Amino acid sequence: MVGLALLATDWSDDDIPLITTIGLLSTWFGPLAAEALRRRGAGDALLWLAERVAGWGRVYVVEALCRWGLSPAARAWLLRHACDGDFLNGYFAGQVATAAHLHEAITGADVDDALIDHTGRLLSSMAGREGRGMTLEHYPPAPLVLAAHAAHLAHQTPSVDRYVDAAAIADHLAAEPRGGSNSWTEQRATLAPPYLAVLLRPDWRDAVRADLDPTSHVFAWLASGVAARLGLTVLADGAEHGVH
């Protein structure tokens, strides 16, 4: 730990392979390894490490990557792969959206399924994350990004992951606002309906009913009140799976 701390104050590029190797033990050495690589401007090494770590280690490395001047490869990775589904993604989702200029990417001409899906994960991670990273209320391009994502979502093939992300976003937007500006309160009222329109479509409902594991935490989350709050019928047959 002391040796890595010393390397984090140095500039020598010769140590980059050693630092990235140690950084794989990211739970313990992630913060210092990320800082040492960022200090050296080792963007490729940071990206290599980001692709291979999870949990808190992913938080440290992705945050360092966001603070580094992004190469096209790093920006493309952040826009499509930074969030791996861990709840800790909420700590860096807003930083990724900001550093990678998500608002430009999702409204641009080069929009693919990977970008749309990852945008959904970023937005759902920022929904209701008080005390854990940037929230949608504090992300200035949120209205633009939400509107673009909902429009793209409507043309995608239904899947459980897409449905869950959209439900998390819609649940946040449709909830009674707690504070925030009047402008955001008014905007969220217009941003929720496009998501609800997708969630209520029979083809999306049927796809989720067919593929969602009734013993999963996702099913439990929907059954805990999200489906009822949003008026979704996706769990209409939930009683037969033991949902009361």
In a domain, residue 169? The reply is yes
Residue 75 lies in a domain: no
Tokens of 131: 């005390």
131 found inside a domain: yes
CB 51 within 8 A of CB 63: no
pLDDT over 90 for what percent of the chain?
Answer: 70
Gap between the Cα atoms of 232 and 10, Å rounded: 56
Give the confidence band of 6 by pLDDT, cuts at 50, 70, 90: confident
Q: Is residue 23 part of a domain?
A: no
Closest CA to 170 of 204, 196, 145: 196
How many Cβ atoms sit within 10 Å of the Cβ of residue 146? 25
Length of the chain (residues): 244
85 within some domain: no
Mean pLDDT of 147-163: 97
Nearest to 226 by CA among 160, 181, 190, 172: 172
The model scores a pTM over 0.85: yes
Amino acid at 10: D
Q: What is the pLDDT of residues 87-117, one digit of tens each?
A: 999 999 999 999 999 999 999 998 999 999 9
Rounded distance, CA 232 to CA 216, Å?
A: 18
Instruction: Count up the domains in the chain and report the number.
Output: 1
